[in-house]
Structure 1
């Protein structure tokens, strides 16, 4: 057993122990983090291998499965020996399910040549107790955005999962502590993007960022860009937890109808992002109390492109969940399939928690 010594946070004066990495009252980092070795920037045009399961045996992840077109064997050249279809890379489609009540699915879609979306999630075993969902969407016009988005999502997830944010024992201090942790997660995500950006890149890697933290009945969301978070309670009105940092959102704020703003020529021009040339990466946050069961949804625009408003998207999620026994992984996968059936014009990421 390791003993701990009680002391106070140098930033806010809250109680801490020498085992804490972050102050639970204000979210301040208490011990200098050991800097991670910088990951060399990779030219994504050469189709890099991005490790999706760090715990797997070396080389195991590179082994292709059966051909997704015909079920045949994939040869050493990366093509099906039966029908000649090129094998799907692990980065093109992957999923995570850290607990039965939480899951995420990330897919390349139909039209794009690579998957620049990423998801990283964590959860405690008890349903509805504690979960962290992060989605990052790489900007297609930037280099290495698929590598940077995955690194950013994982870095943010790791910060959020580092400890419980209890605050000073009051609801307001607990909320402030979670918000502080979200901002620290965005900082870590930004650092990860920078670590995967070549200093000489004419189009530095960049991505959006959205994260949600569930701590019991407290739900907090933070966003930079146009990936989104929604709360769909079973017996109450659907809630959009985030507002996009985009040209379309600015038009909507001035009174332009949503459909018109989100289908115009600048519909997906974002005004904030993570990256070397980002104007500001501090997430805008929203907090609410969870009063009953429902679905927490965090997604990229590959899903909401086809169903933007909260109410109809809530109907889609509830119907899809009912058809899949309310199982989060099956529901997320079915929502990705639905988006692909609508055209799959972008990468698609869906992260769900059944509360």
Structure 2
């Protein structure tokens, strides 16, 4: 495909959960007729509002990837008995050739509670919006809530292009305000997907970045992270975790000790009904050269936490992947799984 074209997005059949593309009129798995408005992830310059489908993760992808047989109601192939993959176990988004993301269940978890939602203009380095949410495993329906939250946030971010009063400082302030509004929408989406009488209400982390006209704004709630890795300058961690580990590090305890302790992944802020505060902490910087924006869940940074070595990993992986964002994100997910895959893994990249 010509790199100047927006990549064809892929979604799922509403009847069987099988993968389909925008060009398909019928599902190849079950033969169901597809609506012309089958949801997809559009580039930012489209004239229509993006449509969001919520993948609960309960529907298996069919047919059987091992033998082509029918997947039964219990999620196993009726011919060979192989357990079917679910739509939510592994999915990708690529709104433009220079922006891509991969969300994966990992190896150890039974379901994928991470979620990813991204958007971008076609022109490389122009405008990109990356959102990642990580459902809290101990809460109910966190997989549904995290996906709803990430996509609600993306919809808010795509709705406007902050100009401020014409100065860079006012434009940055407007971008921060929009990111905070996106976090509000994400929190509302979590509440909408939480049962009123739930004994353990759904909750998730939140991290988002906005790149517009050389200004990069990042904000987070919880321990999902954003980084800026310039090609010829020092790597920058754009976010600070809301976690017990981060508080220990602030007191002088080494990062290695804090992030390997028994409460290393206990977060102190989150989105959800019982959240103490969901206003993201934000940072803003001017991007002046080529590099990578990385937004990820702890499924990746668990194995490479500090900015400098993680930047080296991204650069080396990108070099081995021909500099392609989708291939690089996929390879980083594969790398995390090779380290043990003990958590869900989400990697979103923008190449400037």
Pairing partner for 1:286 from 283, 289, 311: 283
Residue-pair matches, total: 305
Counterpart residue number, 1:99: 96
Task: State the shift of 1:82 in Å.
Answer: 5.9
Task: Select which of 284, 302, 305 maps to 2:302.
Answer: 305
- For residues 341 and 177 of structure 1, do their structure 2 counterparts lie closer, same or farther at Cα, with a shift above 3 Å needed? same
For the residue of structure 2 that corresponds to 1:136, the secondary structure is strand
Whether contact under 8 Å (2:71, 2:78) holds in the other structure is no
Q: Distance in 2 between matches of 1:74 and 1:312?
A: 44
SS at match of 2:88: helix
Asked if the contact 2:17–2:61 (Cα under 8 Å) also holds between the matched residues in 1, the reply is no
Q: Is the 8 A contact 1:72 1:81 kept in 2?
A: no
- Which residue is 1:273 aligned to? 270
CA RMSD of aligned residues (A): 2.2
Moved over 4 A (4+): 49-56, 58-63, 65-68
Deviations 1:245-289 (A, max 9, x none): 000000000000000000000000000000000000000000000
Q: Distance in 1 between matches of 2:98 and 2:71?
A: 38
**Aligned residue among 228, 234, 259 for 1:262:** 259
**Correspondence list, 1:195-210, <5 A:** 195-210=192-207
Instruction: Show the counterpart of 2:235.
Output: 238
- Structure 1 residue 96: Cα displacement: 0.3
Cα deviation for residue 80 of structure 1 reads 3.6
Secondary structure at the aligned position of 2:143 is classed as: helix
Alignment match of 1:75 (pick from 47, 70, 73): 70
Q: Structure 1: how far apart are the matches of 2:21 and 2:275?
A: 29
CA gap of 1:72–1:51, structure 2 versus 1, over 3 A, is: closer
Which of 176, 187, 191 aligns to 2:184? It is 187
TM norm structure 2: 0.83
Contact 1:52 1:91 in 2 (8 A): no
Give the alignment's TM-score, normalised by structure 1. Answer: 0.82
Whole-Å Cα distance in 2 between the matches of residues 171 and 51 of structure 1? Answer: 46
Cα deviation, residue 79, structure 1: 2.4
**Inter-CA distance 314–280: structure 2 relative to 1 (3 Å threshold):** same
